[in-house]
């Protein structure tokens, strides 16, 4: 029985799902830092990026999720979804300043 040369090698991790989330979070942080009036939009972008990560983790297989996979699918979706929803809710609920 012949063995494949890469039989013992770890599976290649796909970075794209994680990079989409990280890019959204970084964009949100940059927008938040631009001024006092942009923090809410930046927070919405951060929360939205986390929610996109939850959807990605939900619909992609474990192999396709790549580096976005941390624990089980249910745990990953719950943490990303709840954190994203909390950030979005806080961005919408905090009253505007003077």
Determine which of 12-16, 42-46, 47-51 has the lowest per-residue pLDDT on average: 12-16
Which residue range forms the structural domain that includes residue 67? 39-93
pLDDT of residue 96: 82
pLDDT of residue 9: 46
Maximum distance among all alpha carbons in the chain?
Answer: 75
Residue 54 lies in a domain: yes
pLDDT of residue 32: 94
The answer to whether the Cα torsion of 24, 26, 27, 33 is positive or negative is positive
Q: Reduced to 3 states, what is the DSSP secondary structure of residue 1?
A: coil
Residue 32 lies in a domain: no
Residue 74 lies in a domain: yes
Residue 2 lies in a domain: no
- pTM for this one? 0.84
pLDDT of residue 25: 97
Q: What is the mean pLDDT of the segment spanning 58-84?
A: 93
Those residues whose C-beta lies under 8 Å from the C-beta of residue 88, and which sit 6 or more positions away, are 43, 44, 47, 48, 51
Q: What is the mean pLDDT of the segment spanning 8-35?
A: 86
Listed residue (11, 15, 42) closest to 26, CA to CA: 42
Residue 23 lies in a domain: no
Q: Is the pLDDT of residue 93 over 80?
A: yes
Residue 58 lies in a domain: yes
Looking at the structure of the chain, the number of domains it has is 1
Residue 84 lies in a domain: yes
Residue 77 lies in a domain: yes
Listed residue (68, 86, 88) closest to 77, CA to CA: 68
Q: What is the mean pLDDT of the segment spanning 3-20?
A: 70
């Amino acid at each position: 029985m012949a063995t494949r040369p890469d039989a013992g090698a770890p599976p290649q991790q796909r970075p794209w799902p994680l990079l989409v989330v990280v890019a959204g979070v970084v964009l949100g942080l940059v927008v938040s830092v631009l001024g006092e009036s942009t923090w809410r939009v930046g927070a919405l972008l951060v929360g939205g990026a986390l929610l996109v990560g939850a959807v990605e983790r939900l619909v992609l297989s474990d192999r396709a999720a790549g580096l976005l996979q941390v624990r089980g699918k249910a745990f990953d979706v719950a943490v990303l979804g709840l954190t994203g929803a909390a950030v979005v809710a806080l961005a919408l609920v905090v009253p505007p300043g003077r």
